[in-house]
């Protein structure tokens, strides 16, 4: 990540930082998403995030104040991305597919975004924590509200859609694809629960061994 960005010049009157703070910020948030996905909120350390982003640990803390703030920003960023993808699917002119199908594909496409779904899932099991719990509930309900009021689903459809999403998240969280080759039941379940994008899951499994 040693890029061609402006570097401080010796003697320059106003040293230019290595990178815009906003770019570093995004870099750190992306790294944090991946680390939190792997280790969970408590299990992840600010040092692991820093190393993944190529900066120092105190810098991460300095930029976000606390680890909790960092995680909250990660959740917000992930949710924002999810909403963007969903809104695109809703507005999609492709009429050959049902809206439900388009949203399903949109959800599964988020697998490409490293750690996004799993970071959210880690937030979803921490309802006990005051701030994280509040953010998780609000985020989850934002998605439900979108399904109900923007996508036009009824309560049952929205609930079923979310249920399948949570199953997918669980299959990612357990790294079920790791056992793909060792059990016929696993193959069957994975192929039933996510016929599309099975290849992505299996690649994730291989990559991070």
Partner DNA sequence: GTCTATAGGATGATAGAC
Partner DNA sequence: GTCTATCATCCTATAGAC
Handedness of CA 76, 79, 84, 87 (dihedral sign): negative
Contacted entry of its own copies, DNA, none for residue 79, CB cut-off 5 to 8 Å set by kind: none
CA distance 46 to 67: 7
Which residues are within 8 A (CB) of 40 and not within 5 positions of it... i.e. 6 or more apart?
Answer: 122
CA distance 75 to 186: 30
- How far apart are CB 111 and DNA at their closest, in Å? 27
Q: What are the structure tokens assigned to 179, written together?
A: 């056992």
Among the residue ranges 58-66, 101-109, 123-131, 165-173, the one whose residues contact DNA (CB under 7 A): 58-66
Q: Whose Cβ is closer to its own copies: residue 90's or residue 162's?
A: 162
Alpha-carbon distances of 50 from 45, 85, 107, 111, 175, rounded to whole Å? 9, 28, 29, 23, 25
- How far apart are CB 37 and DNA at their closest, in Å? 15
Build a one-symbol-per-residue string for 11-50: x at contacts with DNA by CB under 7 A, - elsewhere. ------xxx-x--x-------------------xxxx---
Which residues are within 8 A (CB) of 60 and not within 5 positions of it... i.e. 6 or more apart?
Answer: 28, 32, 46, 49, 50, 53, 70
Q: What are the structure tokens assigned to 195, written together?
A: 């016929």
- 66 near its own copies (CB under 8 A): no
- 145 near its own copies (CB under 8 A): yes
Contact at 8 Å (CB) between 87 and 150?
yes
Which residue of 35, 55, 103, 121 would you call a contact of DNA, by CB under 7 A? 55
CA distance 153 to 72: 29
Q: Whose Cβ is closer to DNA: residue 61's or residue 166's?
A: 61
- How far apart are CB 53 and its own copies at their closest, in Å? 19
Q: Which residues are near its own copies by CB under 8 A?
A: 38-43, 118, 121-122, 124-128, 133, 136-137, 140-141, 144-145, 148, 155-156, 158-160, 162-164, 166-167, 169-170, 172-176, 178-179, 183, 185-186, 188-189, 192-193
């Amino acid at each position: 990540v040693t890029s061609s960005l402006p570097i401080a010049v010796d003697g320059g009157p106003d040293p230019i930082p290595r990178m815009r703070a906003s770019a570093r910020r995004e870099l750190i948030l992306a790294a944090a998403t991946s680390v939190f996905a792997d280790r969970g909120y408590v299990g992840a350390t600010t040092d692991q995030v820093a190393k993944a982003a190529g900066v120092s640990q105190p810098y991460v803390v300095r930029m976000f104040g606390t680890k909790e703030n960092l995680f909250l920003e990660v959740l917000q960023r992930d949710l924002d991305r999810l909403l963007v993808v969903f809104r695109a699917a809703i507005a999609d002119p492709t009429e050959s597919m049902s809206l439900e199908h388009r949203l399903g594909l949109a959800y599964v496409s988020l697998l490409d975004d490293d750690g996004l779904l799993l970071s959210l899932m880690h937030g979803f099991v921490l309802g006990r924590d005051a701030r994280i719990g509040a953010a998780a509930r609000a985020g989850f309900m934002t998605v439900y509200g979108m399904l109900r009021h923007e996508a036009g689903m009824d309560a049952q459809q929205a609930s079923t859609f979310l249920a399948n999403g949570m199953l997918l998240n669980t299959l990612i969280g357990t790294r079920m694809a790791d056992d793909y080759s060792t059990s016929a039941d696993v193959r069957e379940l994975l192929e039933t629960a996510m016929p599309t994008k099975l290849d992505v899951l299996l690649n994730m499994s291989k990559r991070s061994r």
